[in-house]
């Protein structure tokens, strides 16, 4: 191996990640579609509309994946299409998903299927089922069984729930996602129920498909006190880290409820233990926290940007690859395979993304050298897509897309990522071609 060649393990998965509602188009039967129609909910009044037209023609983008030398893709199925009314399953929708997953396989792309990625059928949302374990757990389980029976011959890599912490916090406490509640107690209940629903799905999938590999995508954010000398900043950051980052791992891997989740929990956490075959890490950024004696946004903390650093578009986040290495090393302690199920940034003109990718892949490579068992990396995302309450303005795609014309134009980063996937390595040629300014850092 030439010196300075950062090779990845044989069979490493290079992919991208998407979510049904963000790419399919016309998901009119879920709570997000309803939310988008309400004035003031989405930036610029955007709606998902036709999105990236995947329901009709995901295959066009699957061809792009081939062009970009991808061997993996993480996509999600839309509950509101599959079970449009409670207890009524739509075989045609399942057939469409079969066709999509088959189309991936035919192109040599291994699917990872997410079963819940933020969206719910309207009937389920109207009954506020996520607030009631006795409702949501059997409903989710039945839905999952249906999907696994329909797609199980084409897929064995399942991601039960995307970012339980983000969903619970943003939808029930932050008010930014439907149903737009701002109640900490509800967020805690939903978090508990998401974890219990995950465990039920884990069991159900294995009962149908004993060889299945089941995990979930956990969003971890590197919380750090703003002012290094202030003990209270560090303390609040630590408390928030415990709830947001650690509580899920504690429940699903150690069988213990975090002190914030313990009260009113529907089951003993011991029942949740060992319900992960792998851990999915969604990693984006570092978040600084300042102590605020008036209460702050939550738990006496106010979220602030690190002063003086470059942020991606619209102050979305600081580029902080050290956080990826930190979390990988932390997760490696659980001795399970790890997938990086999301990592990316909004960057319409692509002036930061090449640097972002190279620095994060370097951090990932370092983690691999340190013995972390990382099996794959799914960049968020393949094409620009409907970014929830940010609508169309945040552009996460390796491929730019004008959503009105559906015109795709690959960004430079797409070719960088293709070259890495092809070589299964970060080579001096690649770094020299796309990010020469990083050469000495990467190959130090």
Determine the Cα–Cα distance for residues 298 and 409; give it in Å rounded to an integer: 41
**Which 8-state DSSP code applies to residue 438?**
G
Q: Give the SS3 label for residue 312.
A: coil
| Identity of the residue, 19 or 426, whose beta carbon is nearer to ligand FCB in the bound complex | 19
| Identity of the residue, 384 or 387, whose beta carbon is nearer to ligand FCB in the bound complex | 387
Minimum Å distance from CB 18 to ligand FCB?
8
Minimum Å distance from CB 356 to ligand FCB?
13
Alpha carbon 4 to its chain centroid, in Å, reads 31
Minimum Å distance from CB 169 to ligand FCB?
11
202, with CB counted inside 10 A (0-12, 13-18, 19+), is buried
| Identity of the residue, 225 or 346, whose beta carbon is nearer to ligand FCB in the bound complex | 346
| Sequence-ordered strand ranges (E) for 94-187 | 110-116, 157-162
Minimum Å distance from CB 162 to ligand FCB?
5
Minimum Å distance from CB 9 to ligand FCB?
26
Strands 301-304 and 338-342: unpaired
Sign of CA pseudo-dihedral 269, 271, 274, 275: negative
Determine the Cα–Cα distance for residues 181 and 164; give it in Å rounded to an integer: 16
**Which 8-state DSSP code applies to residue 45?**
G
| Identity of the residue, 219 or 360, whose beta carbon is nearer to ligand FCB in the bound complex | 219
| Identity of the residue, 22 or 171, whose beta carbon is nearer to ligand FCB in the bound complex | 22
CB contact at 8 A, 346 and 386: no
Tokens matching residue 55: 């329901």
Minimum Å distance from CB 273 to ligand FCB?
25
| Identity of the residue, 365 or 396, whose beta carbon is nearer to ligand FCB in the bound complex | 396
Among 247, 224, 228, CA closest to 237? 224
**Helix spans in 107-161 (H):** 122-126, 133-151
**Which 8-state DSSP code applies to residue 245?**
I
**Residue closest to ligand FCB (Cβ):** 19
Determine the Cα–Cα distance for residues 285 and 306; give it in Å rounded to an integer: 11
| Identity of the residue, 48 or 282, whose beta carbon is nearer to ligand FCB in the bound complex | 282
Alpha carbon 29 to its chain centroid, in Å, reads 22
Backbone φ/ψ region at 103: left (φ over 0), alpha (ψ -120 to 50), beta: alpha
Determine the Cα–Cα distance for residues 360 and 195; give it in Å rounded to an integer: 29
Minimum Å distance from CB 187 to ligand FCB?
16
Minimum Å distance from CB 130 to ligand FCB?
17
Minimum Å distance from CB 286 to ligand FCB?
15
| Identity of the residue, 159 or 425, whose beta carbon is nearer to ligand FCB in the bound complex | 159
Binding region for ligand FCB (CB under 6 A): 19, 22, 162-163, 166, 219, 282, 342, 380, 387-388, 396
Bridge partners of residue 375, in order along the sequence: none
Determine the Cα–Cα distance for residues 225 and 267; give it in Å rounded to an integer: 34
| Identity of the residue, 219 or 288, whose beta carbon is nearer to ligand FCB in the bound complex | 219
124, with CB counted inside 10 A (0-12, 13-18, 19+), is buried
Minimum Å distance from CB 388 to ligand FCB?
5
| Identity of the residue, 18 or 189, whose beta carbon is nearer to ligand FCB in the bound complex | 18
**Which 8-state DSSP code applies to residue 83?**
S
| Identity of the residue, 191 or 425, whose beta carbon is nearer to ligand FCB in the bound complex | 191
Minimum Å distance from CB 234 to ligand FCB?
25
């Amino acid at each position: 191996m030439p010196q300075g060649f950062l090779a990845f393990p044989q069979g490493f998965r290079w992919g991208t990640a998407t979510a049904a509602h963000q790419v399919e188009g016309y998901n009119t039967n879920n709570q997000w579609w309803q939310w988008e129609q309400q004035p003031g909910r989405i930036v610029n009044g955007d709606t998902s509309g036709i999105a990236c037209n995947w329901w009709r023609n995901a295959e066009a983008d699957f061809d792009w994946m081939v062009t970009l030398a991808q061997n993996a893709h993480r996509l999600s199925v839309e509950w509101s299409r599959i079970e449009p009314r409670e207890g009524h399953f739509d075989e045609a929708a399942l057939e469409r998903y079969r066709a999509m997953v088959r189309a991936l396989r035919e192109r040599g792309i291994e699917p990872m299927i997410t079963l819940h990625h933020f969206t719910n059928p309207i009937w389920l949302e109207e009954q506020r089922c996520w607030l009631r374990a006795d409702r949501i757990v059997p409903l989710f389980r039945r839905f999952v069984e249906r999907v696994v029976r329909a797609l199980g011959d084409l897929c064995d890599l399942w991601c039960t729930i995307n970012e339980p912490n983000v969903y619970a916090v943003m939808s029930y406490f932050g008010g930014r996602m439907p149903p737009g509640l701002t109640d900490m107690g509800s967020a805690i209940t939903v978090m508990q129920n998401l974890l219990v629903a995950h465990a039920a799905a884990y069991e159900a999938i294995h009962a149908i498909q004993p060889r299945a590999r089941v995990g979930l995508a956990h969003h971890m954010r590197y919380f750090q006190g703003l002012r290094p000398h202030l003990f209270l900043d560090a303390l609040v950051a630590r408390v928030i880290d415990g709830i947001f980052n650690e509580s899920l791992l504690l429940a699903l891997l150690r069988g213990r409820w975090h002190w914030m989740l313990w009260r009113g929990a529907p089951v003993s956490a011991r029942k949740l233990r060992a319900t992960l075959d792998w851990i999915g890490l969604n990693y984006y950024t570092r978040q600084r926290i300042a102590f605020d004696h008036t209460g702050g946004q939550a738990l006496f903390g106010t979220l602030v940007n690190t002063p003086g650093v470059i942020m991606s578009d619209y102050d979305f986040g600081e580029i902080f690859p050290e956080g990826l290495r930190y979390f990988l090393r932390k997760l490696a302690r659980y001795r399970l395979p790890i997938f990086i199920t999301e990592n990316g940034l909004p960057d319409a003109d692509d002036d930061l993304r090449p640097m972002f990718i190279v620095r994060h892949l370097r951090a990932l490579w370092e983690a691999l050298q340190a013995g972390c068992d990382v099996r794959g990396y799914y960049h968020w995302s393949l094409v620009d897509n409907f970014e929830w309450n940010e609508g169309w303005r945040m552009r996460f795609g390796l491929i730019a897309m004008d959503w009105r014309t559906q015109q795709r134009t690959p960004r430079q980063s797409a070719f960088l990522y293709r070259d890495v996937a092809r070589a299964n390595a970060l080579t001096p040629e690649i770094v020299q071609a796309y990010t020469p300014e990083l050469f000495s850092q990467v190959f130090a």
